[in-house]
Amino acid sequence: MSDLTVIILTKNEAVNLRKCVASFRGCAKRFVVVDSFSTDETEALCRKLGSELHEEGRSLDFYQHRFIDYSSQLNWGLQNTSIDTGWTMRMDADEELTSELAQEIMLRLEAVSPPANGIILRRRMYFMGKWIKHGGRYPELLLRIFRTGKAFCEMKIMDEHMVLTDGTTVSFQHDLIDNNRKSLDWWINKHNWYSNREVRDYQQLRAAKTENTAAELSQSSKQAKTKRVIKEKGYYKLPKFFRASLYFFYRYYLRLGFLDGTEGRIYHFLQAYWYRFLVDAKMYECEKNGTEMGQQGDLK
């Protein structure tokens, strides 16, 4: 068992949470769930999982805290749940470890020595049960494991990442999986919510005329930094609406997204075109009416 605490944010995640916890296969000492007042069976499931883990000499502790934004919620959890293990890991409830990654954590984590304070993981994403291998979506490189107290979640409305306060990173070989079991209807509602957050993030960025440079000044995933620069310095410089079409063409044809089959066609169209077009439409509406997007809170 690794000296590792896993922190998971939840809101109505009863359908996903068990597989997330089970995927660790005994390689984490403690789980911390920070819930934003779920209305499904999430809390009851956490109590049950806590009892099961207790019998194995591990633990799951359940907290509730009002959601403002993802970064604030995660940082609250890092600071207020008495994490005392040597390492901490950020997970989403719809994510899970491959068996190979669980084994790698068991074998390699304790051997990582300073100045290395963070672990970069590879994430693969599933959509409607299909692994999306193309369109530039795999692998996504993310800083997810870090020495306790050596990282925080940057305060951004969208595309927030973990950044180290000091030290360097190393990369693990095997995959983390993002495999949400909720419906397409839920996915569309979530991305409608995301689009509001994206517009608010863009408006605040333009108003400040500067970037939040925390990720540039600290150790994080180079891939995440590169994507942010391309988005803010390149994509947003293109004409509204046209850029959504161009992005879809790039993802689906040039990056071979069509090789992902029917599920890939649905995903790349909705995520690369429909979502980006929706963001532009909301930006246009706000500019036309002279309004600003309000704070979004949690996903209802």
| pTM for the whole structure | 0.90
Residue 75 has a pLDDT of: 97
3-state class (DSSP) for residue 128: coil
The tokens 């942010």 sit on which residue?
A: 228
- Rounded to an integer, the average pLDDT of 267-276 is 97
According to the 3-state scheme, what is the secondary structure of 264-288?
HHHHHHHHHHHHHHHHHHHHHHHHH
Banded model confidence at residue 50, pLDDT cuts 50, 70, 90? very high
How far, in Å, CA of 34 to CA of 95, rounded?
A: 15
pLDDT tens readout for residues 119-169: 999 999 999 999 999 999 999 999 999 999 999 999 888 888 999 999 999
